[in-house]
Structure formats: structure tokens, C-alpha cells
Structure 1
């Protein structure tokens, strides 16, 4: 078994054509090979569910079987365990030399081909800042049954030296050819083709262990937030989809919440810099989202709204194509890989830290919404934002507390969601007129439902305050 550290970058087919002639590569000796990899699993994908991939890759007459496990590619940086061995045919060898047989038990007999990856691979060894990096350009296709998806990506694998060199090389590349951090492995791409393709990606569950350090928990949470964002950004770049934009915006909010939750352990000036850029990106996405959820009754107003939406969508795609956004994601990925400036306090167990942060977040929501009916619209919106942060924190830390609190957790989340729903409806009611006015549609605000919504929000807040915390 060996460990590998690699940074995956995605690029368009057009950009790959340009990159193949990138001047720094022209002075280096490179290799070209056609690779055909078949991925195996049980019919119900038991290996994939356990975070393991099994493939046999053929290049010429040579066949190499590879098992990869525990890949942590949430932020674009992959570090994982790997088992390799040569094989003679196209049937996997599943013995004590890798963990597959132990993981599957009797189901090992059910392993079958699931999908194939065929790429032209060009490889160079690139020196960078005293390190040596294997640079791979893969162009080809993933094929599962009668469905297929193109692949166009760069992999930077550290052979020796510091991981910072991977990011320095990525920035050199992006200066000439636009690239983005990649969060999907080839095996994930293949498995995606075996089911219906999503219009958007929701946040994946955060699995934390009570014995995990606070620093490791932070790394896992942020990596998943970056993955959540990049998966939806990828969908948006293929064609604007409102659901994908919404989830990209949710990912940014969840990431900002994570930076705030762990703020006491982080360097304030670094967090402030990232928060500023993330706030800007959230605003860019928010302008389009406000129009996506807006509705008007008359045909003339609808035409104006559709024109405004088209313009807003174009602005989103323009900004997503900008180096500012690409480098923000790369900067965050490197910051995370470098340890995010965490000090000795990050070595403490996560559970006590999480309980303290949850307690403070709950107190803030309880106090802020105490006189819900008398609050100004702005103050009530602040309570709504605090409730979102409490929910994200609860979702991050829910695994840390004993199983006996599972019901308490579900009840708490349910009451929190109920309050968010009421406050969300109130916010839509009071902000719609301003949004309409911004696009030239003056409408009188109909506030007939506001008293009823206020009562419902106050009642939901009271039930949340009465709910027993799941962390104590």
C-alpha cells in the first residue's frame, strides 16, 4: 500500500488543446498512452458505498489492478490509500493483498464490470519550487452502458517536495489556460452515469467521530462545503439551472458558517479575507436567486421579469468564468491543505467544542427572536440568518452525540426548520416589492398575510426555544 497526494484540475476541451502546447511542457520529455480502465463493483454498488474503487487498467498488453480507498477529494486535493498489482486478464484478483474481499464478504462473488474509462494520457515530470510533480493530461470518455460523458482533466501528483508546489504549478497553468479544482474522481463520474443525472447537488452528510480532533473535523466540513459548491458550479457552467444556483449559494452559506463556527481557532485576518470574497460571491448568486423565486401575475410584468432573469443569469455565468472565482476556490483548497493556520487548540476533541458552539448559537437565536412580532423586518431577517447558521452547525455536529439523542436531534431540527420556513415566507413577503422595483416593476405591497405569518413565526420560535438541545 502507498499513499498518493494529487491535485485534480478540470478544463474545457478547447482549453486542453491549448494546454497540450503549453510552452513550459515543450522543453520536457513526455509520454503518451491510451488507457482503457474497467471498473468493477457488485450490482448494488457495495464498494462505492464504502468509498472504495476497483479497476483494471489496460495499456498495450500490460494490465494493472488498482484499489483505492478513503479518498478525501472534497476540496480538489486527493490523499488516499492505494493497492496496485499486475494482473494477467480482465478479471480482478481479490485476495489478502487488498481489502475488497474483506469488505464484501460473500458478495465478492457478485463483482462485475460496471463502467469503463478510455482516455489518451499525456504525462510529464515537471520541476516546481524544488519539488517534482507528475503532470497528467487526460482526455477521453467515461462509458456506462449506452451512456457516456467526456473527461478532460489535469492531475498533479506530488512525487517529492512540499504540497505547496502543486498549487504553485496550478496557478502557473491558470495564468495561461483556465482551470478549476476538480472534486470528482473518474470512478465517481462513472457511477453517476449509472443513475439519473441530477439537476442540482444537495449537501452531503458530514460524518464526524467524537474522538476526532477539532482541526480534523474542521477540515472535513470545509472540504465538503467546497465539494458541494464545485459540483453545482459545474452544472451551472454546463447551462444555467435555478436549482443548481440555489445549491451553490447554500454551499457558500454553509462554508461561511463553518469559518464563523471555528473562528476562535483560526487566524482572524485570513478568515476575514475569505469571508469578504465569499460574501461577494454569495451576493452575485443572490441577485439571480431573488429573481428566480419571484413571480408576477400579468403578462407584461412577466416579460420584464424574464428579461431581468436572463441578464442576471448571464452575469452569474460571466463571474463564474472569471479568474477571481477560480482562484478563490484554489486558495481555499490550499489553505485547507496547509492546515488553515490552526494552532495547538485544534488538537482538542471536537465534541466539547461543538457543544459549546451549538449552545452559543442557540442562545443567540433564542434571544434575537424573543419579541418576534415587534421586531423590525431587518431584525427579524437577522434572526432568520442566525437560525440558518444554527441549522448548519447542527447538521455538521449531529453525529457527535450519543445515539440516544437521535430522536431529540430530529425534533430539534424539525422545529428549527419550521421556524426557518415561517421566517422565509415573511422575508419573501417584505422583500418582493423592492426586488420588483429594482427591475422597473412598481407594485404595491400586499401585507394582508403579514400578521398571520408573524404569529406563526413567533409560535415556531417559542417551540424551538422549548425544544431540548440534542448536545446536552
Structure 2
């Protein structure tokens, strides 16, 4: 039986310049391009009502899906998901492959075929899947988790393009655990990705929506990993070896956006200090990426987005500073009230239209911003990412080498500037490490980044000692200053970490 490609099930998208770029990056055929939004149950009903007011007519049906993998999770490791979905008596098997995300915009190859029962049929599976499974592993495929949703499906057709609208409400179950699903997917069937964001903004006016970052497969695997309530650390962006600088930036910034959103969801559910920390780290990494790539991506929206990220990072930073002070001083009696107020301001900011709009603005800018569609310097956007990485890492290392060479004898303000330089170099090294393959380079990258982490940790402790009295005085809290010998010990440790870093070989050369 022949595998049905996505392009055989819906009209071929119009091949605009932007869409061609997406196809070039993610694959020529069988491509699913979608934007996912999340809302609560009342929000989903409001969104459906807003669409119906525009003439959209929904068909509703119950869907039951089983996702399959081997006990070792070989499909997941290969970036694949396999499901059989049942609606009534009809069963459809779907295989999806990972595609690089442009912010919140997903572009993934997928293949479908009809099946008779809940047993996967792989005799005509794509090469990507056959290569993922070792000999005999096909017989080891077993149900991993299930998804049950009530689905409403409609279509928006206008001059901007064609979009299939899918509203899902239900539950993911796995390993005797479950998690709710409440999302709306906007899938492009005709036109350009800009049409998805235009519709998303209309929906944002109808009900509070947030960018959705998790596929249903990811939700299921997170249940199996018991990771749904754990803070999410930054992950290395997947950058193709032959990627251009613009593509690399979109992948890096998209990974930062994803890290922020996943931790934001946890932070909205509970005042988790680790989730707050990781959300702040995500914003810090994103702001560093904007700085590193500024010459390439600065356009008419750049400064506005940069300013909004600064606002949000500052709001989270106030609460994080108090968490650090509490851990350092133990003065919950004196700092508890201020911390509670800071967390209340975080919740207010995250719940605001301003913050939700910022996330949508960022996602749209990463996917179809002017820096992509009408760049001031097209050659810079298309320049090989590896060349840009080598030049950037050399420049940032030279700056740190110059400023940090006398750490034992400079003032606190200078050490703070060195800390910022070190942080930017560390993030750049983490962003670009994947562009330099080979076992030797990987070992050098691990050692270089490890040395960066040591230096950053010592400089961070020194910065905390320097800023704590100012924060405490503002709150009217009297605390004994850190002993001088502690400060001197940290300065010596930072200087030694700096020397060790400068002695590390550059993994990019």
C-alpha cells in the first residue's frame, strides 16, 4: 500500500518566497505547517464563537489515538512519532518527523495511510522510519500512551490564504498518569505563514491565548518521563551543518522561546523558584542571541521586541534576586513579604495582554519578520552559519580576554562587566557548539563551556555579594555583610577560572 503524502490530502500551498524558504528548510513534500495556541476551556468556546461569527462552520467528532514506540524509545530518539487514530470505524496511521521550528511555527513532514486495526503497518514506511529501527525492532513496537479528544474542525478561506482550524479538548494518558489538552491548531493549506499569525491575532482579541509549544506526542512522552511538572533547561538548537546565519538565528531564538514558554506554564500553575529561574535564563539567552545576531537581524521591529524582553526580564529578575537573597541569608521573616509581592508582580505581568502579545510578536517576527522577507543585507542572512560562529566566538573571546586579565585588582563594576562578557561568550559557545562536529571538537567544546560555567559561577557569587546590600537596604533589612575573606576567596577563584578558560583550546578552530 502506498503512503499518502500530506500534499495529496489538501491543496498545495501557494509557493510564495517565504513559503519556499520554509520548504527548503524543512522538506519539499508532505509538509505540515501549523501554529498552535493554548487556552482554557472557556477560552476555547470563546474562540469557536468568534470563528463562527466569521462564518466558520465546525464539524465535531471524537478521536482516539494510540502512540507507539519500542521499549527503548527508538522512534522518539530518531525524532519520529507514530500513531493510529480512530474516528468511528475509520483508522488512520500517521508518522511525523521532527522539523526545525521557527519560533512557535511548526513545519513537519508527515505521512498517512489507512489501516484496518490498531496494529502498525510498516511495509511501505518512509526511509526515515525504516532507518530508525534496527532489525527486528518493528515487532517490538507497542502502545506507549494514548490521546482522547473532542475535535472541532473548520476552515478559514479568505484573500490571505486557507487555514484549517482544529480545536481539541481532551486528555493524554500514559503510565497511569494523565494531562489535559486544550488547544487550537491553525494549519496552513494555502497562502503564506503570515496568514496564520493574522488569524492568531484575531483570536487573541477574542480570548486569552498563549503560544503552544508541545505536540501531543511530546505531551505523552513528558508523562512517561514524569517531566510535566519539572522546570525545563535550555536545549541546544538543531542547526543544519549547511545552515545560513539567518536560519541559525531562528533555530536558536526559537529554542529560547520554547524554554521560556514551558517554564512560564509551570510558573503560572505554581510559584516554583526553579521554573522562575529557568524562565529568566531563557529570556537572558534570547536577549543574548539578539545581541549576537544584531548586525544580521536588526529591522524595523528589532528595538521594540528587545525593549519588551527587557521589561519582562526585569520583572522576573526582581523575584529571582529575592530568591537568591533568601537562600543566602535565610531571612524569610524579613524577605518573605517582599518575595510574595515580587511573585505577584510576575503573575500579573505574565497574565497581561502585553506579555501574551510579546510572545506572539516574537513568533511572527522569527518566522516572517522583515529581516527574513526583505533583509537589509541578504548576503549576511544567507552567510554560512559556521563562518559567522567562528568570527563571533573569536570576537567575544578577545573582548573577555582583554577585560578579564586583571580580575584581582579591578573594582566591582568592572568585574560586573566581565561577568556580562563571560555570559555572552558562554551562551554563544552553547548556541554554536553543534556546528562543529567530530569527537575532538565535541570534547573541546564541553571543556570550554565547563570552564565558562566555572568563571560565570564565581563572578555571579561576587555580583550577589556586591548587590545584596543595596537590595536589602531598599527593603529596610539589616544583614551582616559578607566576610572580607569570603570575598577575597571568590576573587581568587574567579581569577583562576579565568586563567583556566584562557588556557582552553578553541573548539571552533
Q: Give the TM-score, by structure 2 length.
A: 0.88
Residue of 118, 133, 151 corresponding to 1:104: 133
The answer as to 2:274 corresponding to 1:243 is: yes
Unaligned runs of 5+ in 2: 6-29, 373-377
Unaligned runs of 5+ in 1: none
Residue of 387, 398, 403 corresponding to 1:368: 403
Matches of 1:409 and 1:30 in 2, distance apart?
52
Which residue number corresponds to residue 132 of structure 1? Answer: 162
Post-superposition offset of 1:296? 7.5
1:238 to 1:296, Cα distance in 2 relative to 1, 3 A? closer
The answer as to 2:349 corresponding to 1:319 is: yes
Post-superposition offset of 1:98? 2.9
1:236 to 1:296, Cα distance in 2 relative to 1, 3 A? closer
Post-superposition offset of 1:10? 0.6
Which residue number corresponds to residue 116 of structure 2? Answer: 88
Matches of 1:44 and 1:249 in 2, distance apart?
34
Post-superposition offset of 1:317? 1.0
Matches of 2:359 and 2:56 in 1, distance apart?
29
Deviation sequence 1:229-261 (CA, Å, 0-9, x none)? 111111111112110110111111111111111
Which residue number corresponds to residue 455 of structure 1? Answer: 492
Residue of 416, 440, 444 corresponding to 2:476: 440
Matches of 2:102 and 2:379 in 1, distance apart?
24
The answer as to 2:263 corresponding to 1:232 is: yes
1:25 to 1:189, Cα distance in 2 relative to 1, 3 A? farther
Q: Equivalences for 1:86-235 in 2 at 5 Å?
A: 86-99=114-127, 100-106=129-135, 107-197=137-227, 198-235=229-266
The answer as to 2:84 corresponding to 1:56 is: yes
Residue of 250, 259, 262 corresponding to 2:290: 259
Post-superposition offset of 1:440? 2.3
Q: Secondary structure at the match of 1:78?
A: strand
Residue of 315, 323, 329 corresponding to 2:359: 329
Q: Secondary structure at the match of 2:132?
A: helix
Q: Give the TM-score, by structure 1 length.
A: 0.95
Residue of 55, 78, 81 corresponding to 1:27: 55
Matches of 1:470 and 1:72 in 2, distance apart?
25
Contact 1:4 1:81 in 2 (8 A): yes
Deviation sequence 1:155-174 (CA, Å, 0-9, x none)? 00111122111111111111
Backbone CA RMSD of aligned residues: 1.9
Contact 1:429 1:447 in 2 (8 A): no
1:98 to 1:384, Cα distance in 2 relative to 1, 3 A? same
Post-superposition offset of 1:55? 0.5
Matches of 2:100 and 2:154 in 1, distance apart?
25
More displaced, 450-459 or 339-348? 339-348
Residue of 389, 392, 398 corresponding to 1:354: 389
Deviation sequence 1:4-42 (CA, Å, 0-9, x none)? 111000111232233333364473322000000111111
1:178 to 1:128, Cα distance in 2 relative to 1, 3 A? farther
- How many pairs are equivalent? 471
Q: Secondary structure at the match of 2:224?
A: coil
